[in-house]
Structures are given as C-alpha cells and as structure tokens.
C-alpha cells in the first residue's frame, strides 16, 4: 500500500470551482510523482485555475505552452534532459480530455511513437469545461453540453466516448491505466507506477465536474464512485498490452442511479423515448462489464 507523501506539489489557493474533481485529481497525481520532476500542462481548466499570473499552485517546475502541445513540449524536455546526461528527472505531461483525445492527439501519438520517457496524465471531465462546456471526444453518449444540447430531434451528444486508453495501448505503450478520484490511493499508486517506468506511460483519471455535469458540489466523490459501480468507467491497468488489476464490482448498479443525479442527463427522464437512450447507455455499461469481466 502506498503511503501518501505529506509534501504537496499542487497546493491550495488555486481558483477551482467548489467540488472540482480535476483539482483533487491533480493533487493526488502529484503525490505519485517525485519532487525531482518537471510538468507540462495544456491549456484548459487546470492551467487557468492554477496559474493566474503571477500566482502558481505548483511546487515543481511547470510549463504551459498551448492547447495542443503538452505532450510535444514534454517530449522536448525529456530529450533535452537526456542530452544533458540527466536520467533522473521525471517528466510529466498533463491535459484535459479535449486537449488529449481531440486537439493534442497528434502530439501525444508522436510522443508515444518515439518512445519518450514521459508520463502523460489525462484529467477526464468529459467536455471543454473551461471554455463553456462544449462537447469533446470524451463526452459520453446523450450528455447535454452547449454544443450537443437536447432538442426536438436530439437526445444530447450523438457519439460514444472515445477510448483513449485503447488508443494509447495500440501504440505499444508499456503502461496504460484508468483511475477515479473515488479511489485516491489507487490514483497515487498508478501515477507512481507510471512515472517509474522507462518509456512512455498513460494514466486517464475520471474527474467529475459539478459545474459542467450539474450536481451538488458535495457529491463529487459519490458521482465518481457511481460511474465505476455502474461500469460506465472501468478501472484497470494494462501492462505491455495485457489487462491486469481490474477493479471488480459487487452488485453492479443500473446506470439510472448515475444518470439521474446529473443535469446533463435530465432530458432523458423527461423526453419521449428517453428511456430508449438510457437503455443504450446501459448496453454500454453491460459491454464494459463483459469486456473487462467487472462483475464479482
């Protein structure tokens, strides 16, 4: 069992919304990282809340460049450190789901392909929250965002969530893991494991957003746990392409228990035929449960 470091590398005083899952995810992730590390960060909520010039919540060297190039900047840092003969300093790249699965995918793919010794952490709150809650490639089916609103003919987002973990694994990345802030030590242990590995690694942390998803700030952990307990967010590790250490679910809950607590899904409980869309979401959960053998 990992003992949490008392040292905080993502400190209080930042400007995150009350109940922000992202801020908790970043705090936990940094507890899995050695202090002799350099972090990059894509444009997004994490950058905006933590570094309003001249303030910063970071206790390690931290670099923000653009929306799309957190992985590319991290790769350059890693190459420069190697050129200097520094094989000890760890390099951590960070981005939200939009910066990872959409805008920054090309740079991330290149970082994976070239085999840079960088740990990439995706904080997945399932939309572009910083710029007004627009849908991203990680937005789940039927979720309402400002660019996928429900209407007479629409039931919210028309597409299913992009599987960035599978994309990372398809590059031959040695360590790929999903995590949830509902299980703090699991987050820390996975980031620590990823950072200690030689070569690229990828960790995607599910971080519910009370502002964008529409739930009470005090319910962030409950919402995160329900995503896991309904099998909509499978928690597992993958080493060298083999799935291991799956978090099993005892008495898996129906997806309605997760959906009904969030305003982004409220239209499904009001619109004609909304139940059909809920059944489609349940099918996704059932497929996850079968694929990852989640049920105890």
Q: What is the CATH classification number for the domain harbouring 155?
A: 3.40.50.970
Read off the pLDDT band of 156 (50, 70, 90).
very high
Residue 65 in any domain: the answer is yes
Residue 207 in any domain: the answer is yes
Query: What would the mean pLDDT of 196-211 be, rounded to a whole number?
Result: 97
Residue 8 in any domain: the answer is no
Domain extent for 71: 21-292
pLDDT score, position 1: 56
Read off the pLDDT band of 2 (50, 70, 90).
low
Per the CB < 8 A criterion, the answer to whether 35 and 41 are in contact is: no
Residue 6 in any domain: the answer is no
Report pLDDT digits (tens) over 95-126: 999 999 999 999 999 999 999 999 999 999 99
Residue 25 in any domain: the answer is yes
Number of domains in the chain: 1
Residue 90 in any domain: the answer is yes
Q: What is the DSSP letter of 128?
A: B
Read off the pLDDT band of 5 (50, 70, 90).
confident
Query: What would the mean pLDDT of 61-67 be, rounded to a whole number?
Result: 95
Q: How far apart are CA 200 and CA 184, in angstroms?
A: 23
Residue 1 in any domain: the answer is no
Report pLDDT digits (tens) over 279-296: 999 999 999 999 999 999
Strand order in the sheet with 175-180: 62-64, 37-41, 90-96, 119-124, 201-206, 175-180, 237-239, 242-244
Read off the pLDDT band of 22 (50, 70, 90).
very high
Residue 10 in any domain: the answer is no
């Amino acid at each position: 069992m990992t003992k949490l470091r008392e040292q905080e590398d993502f400190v209080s005083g930042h400007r995150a919304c009350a109940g922000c899952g992202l801020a908790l995810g970043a705090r936990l992730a940094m507890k899995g990282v050695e202090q002799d590390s350099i972090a990059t960060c894509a444009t997004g909520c994490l950058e905006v809340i933590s570094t309003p010039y001249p303030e910063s919540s970071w206790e390690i060297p931290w670099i923000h460049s653009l929306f799309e190039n957190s992985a590319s900047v991290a790769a350059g840092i890693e190459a420069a450190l190697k050129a200097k003969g520094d094989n000890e300093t760890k390099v951590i790249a960070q981005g939200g789901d939009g910066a990872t699965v959409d805008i920054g995918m090309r740079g991330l793919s290149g970082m994976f392909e070239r085999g840079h010794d960088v740990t990439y952490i995706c904080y997945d709150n399932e939309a572009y929250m910083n710029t007004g809650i627009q849908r991203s490639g990680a937005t789940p089916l039927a979720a309402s965002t400002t660019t996928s609103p429900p209407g007479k003919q629409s039931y919210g987002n028309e597409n299913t969530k992009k599987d960035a973990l599978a994309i990372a694994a398809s590059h031959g990345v040695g360590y790929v893991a999903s995590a949830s802030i509902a299980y703090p030590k699991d987050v820390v242990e996975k980031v620590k494991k990823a950072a200690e590995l030689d070569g690229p690694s990828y960790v995607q942390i599910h971080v519910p957003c009370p502002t964008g998803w529409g739930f009470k700030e005090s319910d962030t952990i409950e919402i995160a746990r329900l995503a896991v307990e309904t099998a909509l967010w499978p928690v597992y590790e993958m080493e060298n392409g083999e799935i291991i250490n799956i978090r099993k679910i005892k008495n898996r809950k129906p997806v309605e228990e997760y959906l009904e607590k969030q305003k982004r899904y409220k239209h499904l409980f009001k619109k004609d035929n909304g139940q059909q869309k809920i059944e489609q979401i349940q099918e996704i959960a059932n497929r996850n449960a079968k694929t990852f053998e989640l049920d105890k």
